[in-house]
């Protein structure tokens, strides 16, 4: 039992660093926040931070992995309620995303924001951004296929553009702007695509 205590403490310290970086990176941007700011705000020693995250690039990647995990956790919770209804799931996914972008703490899609700041295609954080969008497309494609869309790839592409458009638009024009139409627009696109199968 005593062997586990340092690991638990260490995990708590790592989580404290990551939670601090998450808040700062998301609110202020990746380039605006230096490692020294994360150290000061989290209250940990520099050596402790570098023990868990040997570079700022790896801290950025961990922040994005955390956001990625949260996004797919919410997606999976919605999916679990619509296992036998792919059309219903598509509409439910669009609805929660529309609520997410209209939330008071929303400051853009973390993956779009980060990709804009990370010019290096090999940056570990950018790889997380690309993986998130690829997985989103694959999930939309799977649902479009299961729903019986005659052209599932086309429907998935349209839905991805609507989602990313809402992510970007809500950051600029706010929660009462065009992004609030995401769920209705997505439903119309889905219904139009599925009507062609008849």
- The string of pLDDT tens digits covering residues 127-138 is 999 999 999 999
13 & 43 share domain:
yes
61 & 91 share domain:
yes
In whole angstroms, what is the distance from residue 9 CA to residue 39 CA? Answer: 17
**pLDDT band with cut points at 50, 70 and 90 for residue 2:** very low
The residue among 54, 76, 92 that closes a domain is: 54
Q: What is the CATH number of the domain that holds 2?
A: 1.10.10
Give the residue with greater pLDDT, 3 vs 106. Answer: 106
**pLDDT band with cut points at 50, 70 and 90 for residue 180:** confident
30 & 1 share domain:
yes
In whole angstroms, what is the distance from residue 80 CA to residue 154 CA? Answer: 25
Res. 4: pLDDT tops 60 = no
85 & 21 share domain:
no
> For the chain, how many structural domains are there in total?
2
Range in 7-16, 18-27, 54-63, 81-90 with the lowest mean pLDDT: 7-16
Residue 186 Cα distances to 22, 66, 106, 108, 167, angstroms:
30, 27, 20, 19, 14
Domain of residue 8, residue span: 1-54
The residue among 54, 76, 93 that closes a domain is: 54
Res. 106: pLDDT tops 70 = yes
47 & 69 share domain:
no
Q: What is the DSSP string of 72-136?
A: HHHHHHHHHTTTT-HHHHHHHHHHHHHHHHTSTT--S-HHHHHHHH---TT-HHHHHHHHHHHHH
Range in 94-98, 154-158, 172-176 with the lowest mean pLDDT: 172-176
136 & 71 share domain:
yes
Which two three-digit tokens encode residue 124?
A: 């570990």
Torsion of CA 156, 157, 162, 167, to 10 degrees: 100
108 & 83 share domain:
yes
Each as own residue / partner, the long-range contacts of residues 151-158 (CB below 8 Å, 24 or more positions apart, any chain) are 151/193, 151/196, 154/193, 155/189, 155/190, 155/193, 158/189, 158/193
The residue among 54, 69, 99 that closes a domain is: 54
68 & 162 share domain:
yes
* pLDDT for the residue 7: 45
117 & 74 share domain:
yes
């Amino acid at each position: 039992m005593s062997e586990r205590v340092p690991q638990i403490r260490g995990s708590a310290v790592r989580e404290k660093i990551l939670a601090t970086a998450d808040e700062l990176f998301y609110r202020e941007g990746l380039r605006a926040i230096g490692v020294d700011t994360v150290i000061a705000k989290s209250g940990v020693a520099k050596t402790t931070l570098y023990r868990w995250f040997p570079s700022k690039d790896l801290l950025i990647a961990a922040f994005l992995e955390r956001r990625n995990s949260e996004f797919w956790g919410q997606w999976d919770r919605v999916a679990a309620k619509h296992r036998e209804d792919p059309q219903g799931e598509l509409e439910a996914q669009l609805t929660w995303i529309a609520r997410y972008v209209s939330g008071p703490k929303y400051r853009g899609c973390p993956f779009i924001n980060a990709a804009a700041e990370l010019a290096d295609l090999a940056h570990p954080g950018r790889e997380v951004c690309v993986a998130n969008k690829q997985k989103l497309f694959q999930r939309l494609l799977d649902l479009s296929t299961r729903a019986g869309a005659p052209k599932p790839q086309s429907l998935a592409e349209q839905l991805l553009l609507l989602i990313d458009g809402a992510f970007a638009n809500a950051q600029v024009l706010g929660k009462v702007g065009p992004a609030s139409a995401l769920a209705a627009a997505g439903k119309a696109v889905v219904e139009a695509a599925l009507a062609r199968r008849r």
